[in-house]
Amino acid sequence: MNRITSLFRQKKEQVLSVFFTAGFPALQDTVPVLTALQEAGADLVEIGMPYSDPMADGPVIQASNTRALGNGMSVELLFEQLKDIRTHIHIPILLMGYYNPVLQYGVEQFVTQAAAAGIDGIIIPDLPLQEYEQQYQQLFQAHKLSNVFLVTPQTPEDRLLHIDRLSTGFIYIVSSSSTTGNQQQQQGHDSYFSRIRQTPLQNPALIGFNIKDQESFRYACQYAAGAIIGSAFIRVLEQADDLRPAIHAFIQQLRGAAEPLPSVPHRQTATL
Amino acid sequence: MSKYNITEDGYYGRYGGAYVPEMLYPNVEELRQQYVSIIESPSFRAEFEKLLTDYVGRPTPLYLASRLSEKYNATIYLKREDLNHTGAHKVNNTLGQILLAKRLGKTRIIAETGAGQHGVATATMCALMNLPCVVYMGETDIARQRPNVERMKLLGAEVRPALSGSRTLKDATNEAIRDWINHPSDTYYIIGSVVGPHPYPDMVARFQSVISREIRQQLLKETGHENPDYLVACVGGGSNAAGTFYHYLQEEQVKLVAVEAGGLGVHTGKTAATTTVGTPGIIHGSKTLLMQTRDGQIIEPHSISAGLDYPGIGPLHAWLFESGRGKFYSATDEEAYQAGIQLSRLEGIIPALESAHALAALAFLPLIPSDTVVVTLSGRGDKDLQTYIDRGGY
Find the radius of gyration of the CA atoms of chain B. 19
Q: Tell me if chain A has a CB within 8 Å of the CB of B325.
A: no
Judge if pTM exceeds 0.80.
yes
Per cent of chain B over pLDDT 90 is 91
- B327 an active-site residue? no
- Residue A130 CB: number of other CB atoms within 10 A? 13
Q: Tell me if chain A has a CB within 8 Å of the CB of B300.
A: no
Three state DSSP letters for chain B = CCCCCCCCCCEECCEECCCCCHHHHHHHHHHHHHHHHHHCCHHHHHHHHHHHHHHHCCCCCEEECHHHHHHHCCEEEEEEHHHCHHHECHHHHHHHHHHHHHHCCCCEEEEEECCCHHHHHHHHHHHHHCCCEEEEEEHHHHHHCHHHHHHHHHCCCEEEEECCCCCCHHHHHHHHHHHHHHCCCCEEEECCCCCCCCCHHHHHHHHHCHHHHHHHHHHHHHHCCCCCCEEEEECCCCHHHHHHHHHHCCCCCCEEEEEEEEECCCCCCCCCCHHHHCEEEEECCEEEEECECCCCCECCCCCCCHHHCCCECCHHHHHHHHHCCEEEEEEEHHHHHHHHHHHHHHHCCCECHHHHHHHHHHHCCCCCCCCEEEEEECEEHHHHHHHHHHHCCC
Who wins on pLDDT, A185 or B392? B392
> CATH says B23-51+90-204 is which class?
alpha beta
In contact, B263 and B273? CB cutoff 8 Å: yes
CB pairs A-B closer than 8 Å:
108
Domain map (residue ranges) of chain B: 23-51+90-204, 57-88+209-391
pLDDT in tens, B111-154: 999 889 999 999 999 999 999 999 999 998 898 888 899 999 99
Tell me what the mean pLDDT of segment B294-301 comes to: 95
CA nearest neighbour of B215 among B62, B347, B87: B62
pLDDT in tens, B219-259: 999 999 999 999 999 999 999 999 999 999 999 999 999 99
CA nearest neighbour of B298 among A49, A24, A126, A101: A101
SS3 A221: helix
A49: DSSP letter: P
Q: What does the alpha-carbon distance between residue A165 and residue B298 come to, in Å, rounded to a whole number?
A: 33
pLDDT classification of B394: cutoffs 50, 70, 90: confident
Q: Tell me if chain B has a CB within 8 Å of the CB of A79.
A: no
pLDDT classification of B54: cutoffs 50, 70, 90: very high
Query: Which CATH entry fits the domain spanning B57-88+209-391: 3.40.50.1100, 3.40.30.10, 3.30.420.40, 3.90.1530.10?
Result: 3.40.50.1100
Give the chain A residue whose CA is nearest to the CA of B298: A52
Q: Tell me if chain A has a CB within 8 Å of the CB of B295.
A: yes
Q: Do B18 and A128 touch (CB under 8 A)?
A: yes
Task: Single out the catalytic residue among B209, B212, B239, B378.
Answer: B378
- Chain A closest CA to B240's CA: distance in Å? 26
Query: A56 contacts in B (CB within 8 Å)?
Result: 21, 23, 177-178, 181
- A84 an active-site residue? no
pLDDT in tens, B174-228: 999 999 998 988 999 999 999 999 999 999 999 999 999 999 999 999 999 999 9
pLDDT in tens, B336-381: 999 999 999 999 999 999 999 999 999 999 999 999 999 999 999 9
Q: Do B26 and A151 touch (CB under 8 A)?
A: no
Topology match between the domains B23-51+90-204 and B57-88+209-391? yes
Q: Tell me if chain A has a CB within 8 Å of the CB of B174.
A: yes
Q: Tell me if chain B has a CB within 8 Å of the CB of A149.
A: yes
pLDDT value of position B248 = 98
In contact, B112 and B176? CB cutoff 8 Å: yes
- B90 an active-site residue? yes
pLDDT value of position A209 = 77
pLDDT tens by residue, chain A, 272 residues: 799 999 999 999 999 999 999 999 999 999 999 999 999 999 999 999 999 999 999 889 999 999 999 999 999 999 999 999 999 999 999 999 999 999 999 999 999 999 999 999 999 999 999 999 999 999 999 999 999 999 998 888 999 999 999 999 999 998 756 677 665 555 567 788 888 888 889 999 999 978 889 999 999 999 999 999 999 999 999 999 999 999 999 999 999 865 455 554 444 444 33
CA nearest neighbour of B175 among B185, B184, B165: B165
Mean pLDDT of chain B: 96
Task: Single out the catalytic residue among B81, B112, B260, B347.
Answer: B112
**Number of residues assigned to chain A:** 272
pLDDT classification of B159: cutoffs 50, 70, 90: very high
